[in-house]
Chain A
């Protein structure tokens, strides 16, 4: 079965601190993995995808097939990073399966 687990409901850090939002997945094949973000009063939007291997707004995520993880990282958090973050997986059925989300709070 395809499953995405985000173990932390809430992650609170101070501005300038490193951030790591955890995501683990369960899938037997080669998935495509995404991070979506939802800022306050805005719609859900794609932040990054593992095949792009790019950094968006200072965030990066590396697919670790051995650990079945796709953690989202940023070396120095900014207040404007406060949002809800969802990890998502797309497998062979092409359905997008989301984790339950992690709320990131960045304090000044």
Chain B
């Protein structure tokens, strides 16, 4: 079963605006990752945040993690049309080599 749930399921914004998507999970984790998937392609890793971190930045990406609420958010600032993609969160299943992916947020950035 999928542990991660992203919301919103779909998001449409204008170029230059910020995009925020959220991920909730159910069990304790030691890290959480965000991936991007362009239509019909494989996933590409964006950023990993560890359980002892609250915020992490990478370029125009900002990720936060709230372990008390079991949630994470991904913020893309100054969005571009090229950011149009689906975004997934993923968490490692404790004690295994398995990873659990959320259902994804489909982001569309309008030029």
Partners in one complex: no
